[in-house]
Structure 1
């Protein structure tokens, strides 16, 4: 678009060059001018253009078109004009700066944010005429030396394309743009603003501080917006912050009805609470005009000072941005500037029509805001009385940069004057003839300290990273507003010291006493872990409970950690508790009960042994082989007592003794029953006189059976103890909240060999007794033995699966119960009937004696 317009302009230049010389004294087109020997041109966005149809802009740009009915004041930008005026007056009063020049002047033009109008204004400045004459300068316009303009990158590029043809220095006071640093394309353009390449880092640090991870972004659809979006996303990944959406708005031309894109409803309907706004007031004017009036959006906006929050087209539409946070470049206060603003009024500068126009518009708007009749312009009023949406007494970033730009041009002219005077002294009455292209060599190397003490560079390499103050915009119900400093961000400071926030000064929304939440998913608290949702951003996740045995002490932990082996998780799984050391203690009810049962049965067995000893000469005792009965009763007593070894904290001695003593005494008991069963069967099988079987009925045979069977078990136990004996051990895995102190059996094969051998003897006794079930009813010893072995085998067959399925203390209880139950079964089935006969049925005892005598007689024959 711009190159085509330039070509058309150059074609017209030949036809109008000669005929337009007489028009040099027509009224000039600047909105404001101050005469001087050297002139600085300036382009500031003071008005917005209101149109109903974009076709209305299809006008011939070579003719002056009146927009007086469509212009609307952007009141806050008038501070830029005052900053220019203040700097020029300060320079003109300084005797050490430009001493051989009577005054420095300026021209102020309105910067329209459109290619057509910006090009039109630039051509007017170059020609100095009311009517556009390309490639021609009116008489006296050769005193113009530089342009201060470019509130936005787009304006700087549009102006620079034309000004580059004439090598006019253009000093851009808008936000820093890396695109404009390309000297091959923009050799005559200089940027005054500090680099803001750390702005995205400051915003991310702010989000990290308030734990905001789910945010939206509104930016301009241009290269500067794309660069910010790229940097923002790249650093967001480091902190697990996500962009819920990105609204790329077309670069506005400050028109009220230019966009039909319904982006504001999308922002309002989105649940995202925090929205980043990146852009400047001109480029994002459409966002202001699209803002609903008298509506609480319940959003937190994070902006830059380049997008001026209080500057809005409506009077009372600040509610939506209440609580917004703005990053403003940190600057020092220019001495005397506020005092200058306090005295400015139309009577101070009566020759300034632009000030009078601004004054009337601002104070009429103030009265309209107060519902007063706007019948006068308040000529004696003060800028301090204007609300923030009309004027700000604090110097803005752009005004500060404009002030520095004017001083940079003046100092460059001063350096050029010194160099020129050294070559050819300036005579009295002569003035410095400064050509714009000559100023470049001095602007490139200029650097100085301004009146506030800040170091100013025009070289892009010399520009440092901007430091930021963080302001909060507050809009009160009485329609007053304020910008309150709540923090700052220093990019080059160490992490943790770079961001400072005064939390006590923060105000959140209208009815929110605390920091609003801006997350896709609520944080996973201690005891939970963060698992990402498939196909969704990392900020959207689920929070399942930590697995068994694991905890998480912090929020949003991606992985739970296991507790140490001697600790276990609490119910909430956010803390590890020490495990309780547990074993079958004699002091606890279960241990005390089992010990009491064992002692009871051992005492009962001793009493039965005493009965058998006292009635040893009775036929019942004799018929049951007294030696085997005594041996069996003693072994049963030891069986009951050996269960006590399983109660209490295991030690090296008890671990070695409990299983070996249990195996030996049980083998002794079962061996005695086996011998008794064999003798009973053999006694009733001997029916022929002189049978050789009578040899096996001798007492020493039964003794040999007992000794042999017990000896084998002793050998097995000895091998077990020699290879891998039992030892005290701790089990930390079977129970989640307990450390079980137990006896490790050492060799599992040895343990089950001992049990298996006992089981083998018991099975042999059961089989032999079962085969002898047909003995005479009056002598039912085989039946008692059969039943006792059935109980014994049932207990131990049930013991094996139960023992395998239990852990810790329950395992010990199962074994003790099996010992007591099987021993009690033997005692009850074999000896209780005999004691009943001996003590309560002596007649039955005599019958048994007669049967025994007959049995002996048959054996003797």
Structure 2
């Protein structure tokens, strides 16, 4: 037995209720005939899944026990569509005149073992199924209409007799194989664009994390394969796949794990694909608890809204349904309104349906007399979940199938009449296989105006109406058209939706989201998680100077060199061109400092010129002092070349002027230091050192050292001179205009040569620092060169650790600091004595005057 206790209790209660409706303890519900027959000159056999039966094999080993499980009310509309189409054709004098259509209708079971029972009974013409035996000498049935899954199983049997078989279900690619099913014709248009339509809906609402509930038919598996390709192509991930049973055997094998994946899934959207033959209805009690917070996207081939289990209408509220687009058949709704057991007493299915939905009782030995029914009982009075008055896709396909058979027979009879005229009122007879040439290429326009084409090679793709299921008032479910999908429209217009008409699931007030990971906002990129689908990811900020300007970007985009990324990393801005300008606070400070030192140096030069005859000025070689002060003025002023908008001239003059001017200054210091040493080493008038001192040999150091530096600069400018360059990376949001030194080796040669002179001056001054004399400046020279060397030794690491404008500022600062060190250490003490302590600026004793005269030999002109 089936191990579903809640379901069995419900069905047991239903069976007890059915039993008490029969008088004399007769189970009338199960004693009724198994078929619905209407006589005609020619007939159409039909096999529809109207009842759900399950087979219990444990009751008897040799005979299966069949248990009634439910009435598929939505499938009963198929019966009425068949009757309506046949009555309409019989009333049409233009189609099959003088020929009446009839039908022979049977219910089919979902069991693989029992599905062939009624087809065998129909073929044999007996009450029991006898394989390979036909009791009737001639059958009036010229074609068979059945569901898709039934056609797969029954098609091989019917092919033995070449009986045309028309299917009412959705298009099945497997059945289009003319080699395997040459006698089978599918009425539904192709569903090749269904997967694209569903994916378009997912993309419209940005649903990237979905689940699949698919029937275990080959068509369901094929659809799942096509859908996964489209989903993957558009970046949508599948969290789970749930198989829906179609046959009793597969239902039993799957029931233990039914819906577990749906319950556990974090996906809020589930794509449900199954057909009219699915057994999903019997598992409704377990589906109720998984529906409430899910958004279901399904097709009209399985329409939950027309099932008797109204307990699920609340849970299915907000479902989106893809239904084949077709015109409305006039007269069908009025036909449904007037259909009742009194009008069609031979319709056993209508009688059973009336018993179930209106709680009637039945009397009589034949169990066909109804009592205690409501006075206003009609199909229209039923809520949509019990019976839907709008024509379903399956009913529309049945309507077209009946017309296809009628048109084929009509054309065949016309052809036969031309070949063999009928006399004495005799009727033409033919075999079902003779219809195939007419059915294969049949193409006609039905009464609605829609084109019907049975050739699967030229069959068109389906267009879809998108319906939204509403369940208000509560318990009265209805479907509202909210959009459509057409594969023939342009890419941007294939899907059209009226979102304001969509009602979502209970408790959801805005468009639901179904994602594995929340979207990465601009400024971030997706980082995949190991072992997870592509829709599951982390959000990582974009690296420096890279942006992402859209959501869910896989990679960040690098800004161009002339652009920079915003702090949010979501857009690139054009960089502002900048340089160390005179208006810049740093540049203004350095300019003011340079000018102040230049003026101060000029003032010192003025003081020395004014007091040129004083012992202190004369004792330290006035000419070298003047040269040094003038060189310092130019050293301070050359720093201005580093500030302002760079151009070719300033770039060439910056380093060369700096190198030459400081070479003059340092070589002057070296000459002063050597002069002091020579002055104190002269002890006798005849010595050669005295001759060097008197002849001014130390003064030649200045032009010699300067010429060497000029030669280095000339080589530099000749091979790789400085040029204007840009730095787009040192300062965020700015492109810095700067002077590129050209040859870095030449630059360091100039700087190294200048450092060598400084070290030589420092060494000589350090050795002469303790020579006795009141006006000895060797100590000041030593200290000045110590400051000078310290500044430029510190300059090298600081210079290489900075970028952009700061690098230029460091070099300017080093120029000013080293120049200020020379000015301050050498001349400030002398100016202090000259201006504030004049009493110290005087000769005391003859010896002092004699030494002063000897050292004064070094004046510039005498």
Residue of structure 1 in register with 2:49 after alignment? 45
Tell me by how many angstroms 1:714 deviates: 2.3
Q: Is the 8 A contact 1:689 1:858 kept in 2?
A: no
Q: Give the superposition deviation at 1:396.
A: 0.7
- Aligned mate of 2:498, from 496, 502, 507: 502
The 3 A distance-change label for structure 1 pair 105 and 30 is farther
Correspondence 1:119-138 to 2 at 5 A: 119-138=116-135
713-722 or 795-804, which deviates more: 713-722
Match of 2:523 in 1: 527
Q: Secondary structure at the match of 1:523?
A: coil
SS at match of 1:208: helix
Deviation of residue 612 (structure 1)? 0.9
Task: Tell me, in whole angstroms, the C-alpha distance in 1 between the residues paired with 2:524 and 2:719.
Answer: 48
- Do the aligned partners of residues 310 and 848 (structure 1) sit closer, same or farther apart at CA in structure 2, a change above 3 Å counting? farther
- 92-101 or 617-626, larger mean C-alpha shift: 92-101
- After superposition, the C-alpha distances for 1:478-517 in whole angstroms (9 at most, x for unaligned) are 2221111122222233322222222222222223233222
Question: Hey, what's the Cα distance between the residues in 1 that align with 2:177 and 2:60?
Answer: 32
Q: Of residues 397, 405, 408 in structure 2, which corresponds to 1:409?
A: 405
Shift of residue 71, structure 1, vs aligned partner? 5.1
Q: Please show how residues 324-335 of structure 1 align to structure 2 within 5 Å.
A: 324-335=319-330
Structure 2 match to 1:15: none
In structure 2, the partner of 1:304 is 299
Match of 2:600 in 1: 604
CA distance in 2 between partners of 1:737 and 1:859 (Å):
61
Q: 1:87 aligns with which of 77, 85, 88?
A: 85
Please state whether the residue corresponding to 1:485 is helix, strand or coil.
Answer: strand
2:777, 2:441 → 1: CA distance? 125
| Superposed CA offset, 1:214-262 (max 9, x none) | 2111112232222112212222221122211112233234999885323
CA distance in 1, matches of 2:510, 2:46: 46
| Aligned counterparts of 2:523 and 2:651: Cα–Cα separation in 1 | 40
| Residue of structure 2 in register with 1:323 after alignment | 318
Question: Equivalent residue of 2:328, what SS?
Answer: coil
Q: CA contact under 8 A between 1:288 and 1:312: conserved in structure 2?
A: no
CA deviation string 1:546-590 (max 9, x = no partner): 111111112222222121221100001110112122222222322
Displacement after TM superposition at 1:184 (Å): 3.0
Task: Quote how far apart the aligned CAs of 1:823 are.
Answer: 1.0
Name the residue aligned to 1:578: 574
Distance 1:853 1:515 in 2: 106
Report 1:838-853 matches (<5 A): 838-847=834-843, 852-853=848-849
- In 2, Cα distance between equivalents of 1:860 and 1:728: 49
Is residue 2:756 matched to residue 1:760? yes
Partner of 1:278: 273
Question: Are 1:60 and 2:63 counterparts?
Answer: yes
Q: Distance in 2 between matches of 1:190 and 1:207?
A: 33
Tell me which moved more, 789-798 or 810-819: 810-819
**Hey, what's the Cα distance between the residues in 1 that align with 2:250 and 2:558?**
62
| Deviation by residue 1:131-154 (Cα, 9 ceiling, x = unmatched) | 4455554558622222211x232x
Number of the residue aligned with 1:7: none
* CA drift at 1:402: 0.5
Partner of 1:165: 160
Q: Does residue 146 of the first structure (1) align with residue 143 of the second (2)?
A: yes
Tell whether the 8 Å contact from 1:521 to 1:540 is kept in structure 2 after alignment: yes
User: What does residue 794 of structure 2 align with?
Assistant: 798
Q: Is 2:345 aligned against 1:341?
A: no
Contact 1:294 1:319 in 2 (8 A): no
Tell me which residue corresponds to 1:195: 190
Q: How does 1:227-242 map to 2 (within 5 A)?
A: 227-242=222-237
The answer for the alignment partner of 1:216 in structure 2 is 211
Task: Give 1:689's aligned residue.
Answer: 685
1:159-206 Cα offsets, whole Å, 9 max, x none, are: 223222333222221222122223333232222121212221211222
Residues 284 and 307 in structure 1, CA contact (< 8 A), matched pair in contact too: no
1:738 & 1:423 partners in 2: Cα distance? 95
* Equivalent-residue separation in structure 2 for 1:737 and 1:287 (angstroms): 68
Structure 2: 5+ residue stretches without partners:
1-30, 361-369, 858-862
Alignment check: 8 A CA contact 2:520 2:539 kept: yes
Match of 1:10 in 2: none
CA contact (8 A) 2:308 2:386 kept: no
Q: Distance in 2 between matches of 1:28 and 1:93?
A: 30
How far, CA to CA, are the matches of 1:121 and 1:620 in structure 2? 137
1:380 to 376, 395, 402: 376
Aligned pairs for 1:736-775 within 5 A: 736-775=732-771
Q: What residue is the counterpart of 1:14 in the other structure?
A: none
| Ranges in structure 1 where 5+ consecutive residues have no aligned partner | 1-26, 366-373
Which deviates more, 796-805 or 252-261?
Answer: 252-261
TM-superposed CA distance for 1:347, in Å, is 3.8
The structural deviation recorded for 1:852 is 4.3
Label 1:766 to 1:87 Cα distance change in 2 as closer, same or farther (>3 A): same
Number of the residue aligned with 1:370: none
Structure 2 distance, partners of 1:352, 1:97, is 25
Tell me the TM-score normalised to structure 2 length: 0.90
SS at match of 1:291: helix
Deviation at 1:461, TM superposition (A): 1.8
Paired residue for 1:186, among 171, 181, 184? 181
- Distance in 2 (alpha carbons) for counterparts of 1:585 and 1:850: 58
- Tell me the equivalent position of 2:650: 654
Counterparts of 1:860 and 1:318, CA distance in 2 = 119
Separation in 1, partners of 2:79, 2:284: 25
Q: Secondary structure at the match of 1:671?
A: helix
Change (3 A) 1:237 1:109: same
Distance 1:57 1:364, change over 3 A: farther
Q: Which residue of 1 aligns with 2:469?
A: 473
Q: Does residue 1:669 correspond to 2:665, yes or no? A: yes
Cα distance change of structure 1 residues 596 and 464 upon mapping to structure 2, 3 Å threshold: same
* Runs of 4+, deviation exceeding 4 Å: 27-30, 56-59, 133-141, 254-259, 847-852, 856-861
Query: Residue 345 of structure 1 contacts residue 379 of structure 1 at CA under 8 Å; is this kept in 2?
Result: no
Q: Which residue of 2 aligns with 1:708?
A: 704
**3-state SS of the aligned residue for 2:430?**
coil
Alpha-carbon distance change, 40 to 547 in structure 1, aligned in 2, over 3 angstroms: same
Query: Is the contact made by 1:295 and 1:319 (CA closer than 8 Å) also made in structure 2?
Result: no
User: Aligned partners of 1:671, 1:495: CA distance in 2, in Å?
Assistant: 82
CA 1:859 to 1:664, structure 2 compared with 1: closer, same or farther past 3 Å?
closer
Which 10-residue stretch deviates more, 744-753 or 209-218?
744-753
SS at match of 1:216: strand
Asked if 1 retains the 8 angstrom alpha-carbon contact of 2:44 and 2:145, the reply is yes
Query: Are 2:530 and 1:518 equivalent residues in the alignment?
Result: no
Equivalent residue pairs, number: 818
CA contact (8 A) 2:109 2:115 kept: yes
Quote how far apart the aligned CAs of 1:87 are.
Answer: 0.7
User: Is the 8 Å Cα contact of residues 240 and 265 (structure 2) preserved in structure 1?
Assistant: no
SS of equivalent to 2:116 = helix
Determine the structure 1 residue equivalent to 2:777: 781
Residue among 52, 69, 72 paired with 2:70: 72
| Cα pair 1:623 1:852 within 8 Å, conserved | no
Cα distance change of structure 1 residues 132 and 648 upon mapping to structure 2, 3 Å threshold? closer
